[in-house]
Amino acid sequence: MSAAMSRPFLKMNGLGNDFVVVEARTAPFEPTAAEVRALGDRTSGIGFDQLIAIAPPRPDEGADARVRFWNSDGEEIFACGNGTRCVGWLLMQASGADRAVIETKAGRLIATRAGERLVSVDMGKPGLDWADIPLAREQDTRALDVVLYDHPALATSPGCVSMGNPHVVFFTPDVDLVPVTTIGPLVERHALFPEQANVGFAQIIDRGRIRLRVWERGAGLTKACGTGACAALVAAARRDLADRSAVLVLDGGELLVEWKAEDDHVIMTGPAAVDFAGELP
């Protein structure tokens, strides 16, 4: 690691989706892809699903902070739902306020207190047009007419949603029978997704409860994916498989996701936790 990167960090997690959060409001933080990969290595580095930098807001933004995200493979990404929730909690703890406005490359996100260590994040409107995802060619994103992977547990057509990052969501009768780590990386890099995709596997338990596992683009199978949970709820509601508000049951715990009818914004509520503090090498 370069000397410029030596600074304190917090290790945080949202339902086991884990992050290294770096304070970058007093000094710029511009890690290279190789440095991000080294830090993210769970054997020789700190280990994380995503690296997060909290930077000062631009003067005209009217935000509390500007936030950047990198996957553990070194790629910078536009959005991270669980990470935004953790940052929102930190900002509200520091300010004493019950609301934090966060600028990301995916747009402005608003975090609010929802209880003890619980945070709600307004993730904005989902992108539902094929160009929003983006896809390589025009498709009905409610149900694709292309076979991305031939497997008996994935008999129905998947849906696509952008939550500031691209998601494809498969519906399956039993998510535990799906070889996520085999199918996920192949679908992630399918030619239909020019920017690759996060790959969700959703099992509808009932109209208010969905079991979900997500292969995250650039991070692999994670214990929880906030934008993936939002995408799964939207994809399910569009197919009338679930109500517009449901509990998403992920490997790391549960998230409440609501797709509001009045403004189409997606609200995600869940916990934020601090694991430990350290200093970047």
CB neighbours of residue 77 within 10 Å? 24
CB neighbours of residue 55 within 10 Å? 18
CB neighbours of 3 closer than 8 A, spacing ≥ 6?
Answer: none
For residue 155, the SS3 value is coil
Q: Which two tokens stand for residue 211?
A: 């079991």
Q: Which of 80, 86, 160, 230 is catalytic?
A: 80
Spatial contact of 180 and 225, defined as CB atoms under 8 Å apart: no
Q: Which of 86, 160, 225, 230 is catalytic?
A: 225
Active-site residue, 80 included: yes
Q: Which two tokens stand for residue 41?
A: 């290595």
- Residues shown for the chain: 281
Extended strands (E) in the chain:
8-14, 17-23, 50-55, 65-71, 76-77, 99-104, 107-115, 118-122, 159-162, 166-171, 198-206, 209-216, 220-222, 245-250, 253-259, 266-271, 273-279
Question: Which amino acid would we find at residue 142?
Answer: R
Query: How far apart, in whole angstroms, are the C-alpha atoms of residue 164 and residue 268?
Result: 14
Kindly list the catalytic residues.
80, 225
